[in-house]
Amino acid sequence: MVGVLMLEVSPAVITAFENDRVEHTTKAFAEIIRSAHPGIVNAMPEAELLIRTRTGIELCQRHHVQTRRDIMILCLVHVMYGRGALDSPDFAWIRPILDEPPSEPDTRAYRIHCKLAEG
């Protein structure tokens, strides 16, 4: 007979794991941004790049954005335009798109990318 081991994990441990995952993801995306877009982040201190990238990742978590491409798009919005970009009147149109329920496939980040590319 095989026994089943039940572990009880406290909310503090779960939070610690989640924070570690976000930290790891932030560093991974920041490295991709630094290598793929050196012209954008050349003069940006590493700490600022990490803060802006994390802001983008946290935004993705709140709005259930899940693909690497879409996460990268929203991280780049914060890297290029600042942590408070979504609070700026120039970018007020982004929040209503993110507030839409995700579809299959999720096109919200791609539509944001296209509109930013239009200038």
- In tens, the pLDDT along 12-42 reads 777 777 777 889 999 999 999 999 999 989 8
* pTM of the shown model: 0.81
Q: Based on C-alpha coordinates, what's the Rg of the chain?
A: 17
Q: Is the pLDDT assigned to residue 1 strictly greater than 60?
A: no
Termini Cα distance of the chain? 66
> In whole angstroms, what separates CA 70 from the centre of its chain?
8
- In tens, the pLDDT along 55-112 reads 999 999 999 999 999 999 999 999 999 988 999 999 999 999 999 999 899 999 999 9
Euclidean distance between CA atoms 111 and 87, whole angstroms: 18
Q: Is the pLDDT assigned to residue 116 strictly greater than 90?
A: yes
